[in-house]
């Protein structure tokens, strides 16, 4: 699905100054910046050096997932290890076989580093640097891998252990795309253009150092240009205790649900909002930073019925679903009647992990393009949230077992 250009541009514009692209373009390194909070984890910035190396244009890359640079001989186990690093929001260093636009393969030393919000510790972007491995510096060695300072001599065994412990149906929907692209019998490439695909090899120390310096330079630019806007970013997570942290996998799943809703965490003091959908922000007029970490009470006002608030409190204490009609207030102080449905969301062990609140402006109670009435849309939203949370908790339980 083609992503709106405005959504891609907003990924950088909302966090950094308007000059950040110019500063990044001046860097000579090969790198991309991706946004895990947008469905599909797309590339939101690509460096000129990366485009020159791969032969793609910026228009062909922006908005696409990094899978586009992989091909039939790319190690599927390496791809899965990168996916796991994204899910765990950790740094990874790995040797990887990528493909240029003309189909020629080339080895790179790939280093990916997360960028966090200094305000609330949430994941903002991933920076991925690719340093081409020069042929005369290659050392034949199967599966060099480093995740957060941990090295593995054999990446296939590490990935096989992870995959064997998790049910395939709990992988994200892009797993099917990986299967189609990578899980096939190797076939001779008649159009390899004279490039021999060698055994997995290790980058030399110089190439690893180049990647580390590139990451440092990019993070310096992002940090500087985030200071201008006040939306500070950092390489290490420094979260506020009052705000729960949702992993990027759950954020991505929730971003696909196009309804107004929030997720609150009953395990934190005062049950703060830990996720707010774009539709909720449009309905209320608040920004995400103004919503996260606050109790939903901030939507109430002078004419909000206290008995309705008490009914909501009772349903939360008894961990039961409820539907109420409540007078809420937007940021601009205008009021609206909110047909609110609240439901507990349990994890795989049956414990209430969150409460989901689905809002519906009473003046906008009409069927959508699929013929669903407001009540059906609310229940389908609750169902989608429950599936996302339960699937993630089951996956994490498998990977930790």
35-39, 80-84, 114-118, 171-175, range with the lowest pLDDT: 171-175
**Cβ(335)–Cβ(329) below 8 Å:** yes
CA–CA dist 114, 264 (Å, integer) = 25
Question: What SS3 state is found at 107?
Answer: strand
Strands (E), 250-300: 261-264, 273-276
* Residue 179 scores a pLDDT above 50: no
* Residue 32 scores a pLDDT above 90: yes
Mean pLDDT on 183-208: 57
Strands (E), 133-180: 139-140, 145-147, 150-152
363 DSSP 8-state letter: G
pLDDT for the residue 322: 94
Mean pLDDT on 27-53: 93
Q: Residue 212 — φ and ψ, nearest 5°?
A: -65, -40
Give the domains, in start order, of the chain with CATH numbers.
5-234 (3.30.450.20), 248-400 (3.30.450.20)
**For 264-305, what is each residue's pLDDT tens digit?**
999 888 888 989 998 999 999 988 878 888 889 999 988 999
pLDDT for the residue 230: 60
pLDDT for the residue 296: 92
Mean pLDDT on 148-168: 42
Split at pLDDT 50, 70, 90, the class of 6 is: confident
**pTM as predicted:** 0.54
Give the helix/strand (H/E) hosting 180: helix 175-182
CA–CA dist 356, 252 (Å, integer) = 16
**For 307-349, what is each residue's pLDDT tens digit?**
999 999 999 999 999 999 999 999 999 999 999 999 999 987 8
Of the two residues 332 and 200, the one the predictor is more confident about is 332
């Amino acid at each position: 699905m083609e992503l709106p250009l405005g959504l891609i541009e907003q990924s950088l514009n909302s966090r950094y100054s308007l000059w950040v692209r110019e500063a990044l373009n001046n860097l000579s390194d090969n790198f991309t910046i991706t946004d895990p909070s947008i469905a599909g984890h797309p590339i939101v910035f690509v460096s000129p050096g990366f485009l020159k190396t791969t032969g793609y244009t910026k228009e062909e890359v922006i908005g696409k997932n990094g899978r586009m640079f992989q091909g039939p001989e790319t190690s599927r186990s390496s791809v899965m290890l990168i996916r796991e690093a994204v899910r765990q929001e950790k740094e990874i260093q790995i040797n990887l076989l990528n493909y240029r636009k003309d189909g020629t393969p080339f080895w790179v030393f790939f280093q990916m580093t997360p960028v966090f919000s200094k305000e609330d510790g949430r994941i903002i972007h991933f920076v991925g640097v690719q340093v081409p491995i020069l042929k005369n510096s290659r050392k034949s060695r199967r599966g060099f891998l480093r995740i957060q300072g941990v090295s593995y001599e054999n990446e296939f065994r590490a990935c096989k252990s992870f995959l064997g412990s998790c049910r395939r149906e709990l992988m994200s929907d892009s797993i099917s795309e990986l299967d189609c692209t990578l899980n096939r019998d190797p076939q001779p490439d008649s159009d390899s253009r004279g490039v021999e695909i060698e055994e997995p090899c290790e980058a030399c120390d110089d190439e690893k150092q180049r990647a580390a310096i590139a990451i440092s330079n990019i993070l310096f630019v992002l940090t500087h240009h985030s200071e201008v806007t006040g939306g500070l970013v950092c390489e290490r997570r420094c979260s506020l205790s009052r705000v729960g942290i949702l992993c990027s996998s759950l954020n991505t799943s929730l971003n696909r649900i196009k309804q107004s809703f929030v997720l609150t965490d009953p395990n934190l003091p005062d049950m703060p909002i830990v996720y707010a959908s774009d539709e909720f922000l449009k309905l209320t007029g608040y920004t995400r930073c103004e919503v996260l970490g606050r109790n939903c009470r901030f939507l109430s006002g002078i004419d909000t019925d206290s008995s309705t608030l008490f009914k909501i409190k009772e349903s939360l204490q008894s961990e039961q679903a409820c539907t109420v009609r409540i007078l809420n207030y937007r940021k601009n102080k205008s009021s609206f009647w909110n047909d609110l449905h609240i439901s507990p969301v349990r994890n795989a062990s049956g414990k209430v992990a969150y409460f989901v609140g689905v809002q519906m402006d009473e003046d906008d109670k009409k069927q959508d393009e699929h013929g669903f009435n407001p009540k059906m849309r609310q229940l389908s939203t609750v169902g989608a949230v429950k599936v996302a949370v339960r699937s993630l908790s089951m996956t994490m339980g498998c990977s930790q077992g």
